[in-house]
Amino acid sequence: GAGVSQSPSNKVTEKGKDVELRCDPISGHTALYWYRQSLGQGLEFLIYFQGNSAPDKSGLPSDRFSAERTGGSVSTLTIQRTQQEDSAVYLCASTRTGLRVDSPLHFGNGTRLTVT
């Protein structure tokens, strides 16, 4: 596709359930980022991938959060045993080669997660 695609666009789940969020980056983009946008909290960095590996996992809030990327393309963010504080918009972004002047970050529309 032409842009970063995230699915689902909205997800409502019960506390304690597991959820899986998907991101399809722009074709050929090697770097992929996950951010969380909570009301009044700005964008919180979660994790980024260079190819299939994640050089920095420091942003993951807890061990309930995990992410993987396969084939240098699709990434999934999994949240186990969801809590109400996990409610937020989860944003994915990709860039062709990393943060270079000619390689801007492209964002998807996000997945709005609501934990009831």
Partner 1 sequence: AQSVSQHNHHVILSEAASLELGCNYSYGGTVNLFWYVQYPGQHLQLLLKYFSGDPLVKGIKGFEAEFIKSKFSFNLRKPSVQWSDTAEYFCAVNAENAGNMLTFGGGTRLMVKP
CB of 54 to partner 1, least distance (A): 11
Q: How many CB atoms are located within 10 Å of the residue 100 CB?
A: 10
CB of 86 to partner 1, least distance (A): 19
Pick the piece of the chain touching partner 1 (CB under 8 A) from 18-26, 64-72, 76-84, 100-108. Answer: 100-108
Does position 25 bind partner 1 by CB under 8 A?
Answer: no
Does position 34 bind partner 1 by CB under 8 A?
Answer: no
CB of 36 to partner 1, least distance (A): 11
Q: What are the angstrom distances between the C-alpha of 82 and each of 14, 96, 99, 115?
A: 8, 32, 32, 7
Exposure letters 62-99 (e unless 16+ CB within 10 A, then b) = eeebebebeebbebebebeebeeebbbbbbbbbbbeee
Q: Which residues bind partner 1 (CB under 8 A)?
A: 3-4, 31, 33, 35, 40-43, 45, 48, 50, 55-56, 91, 93, 95, 98-101, 104-105, 107-110
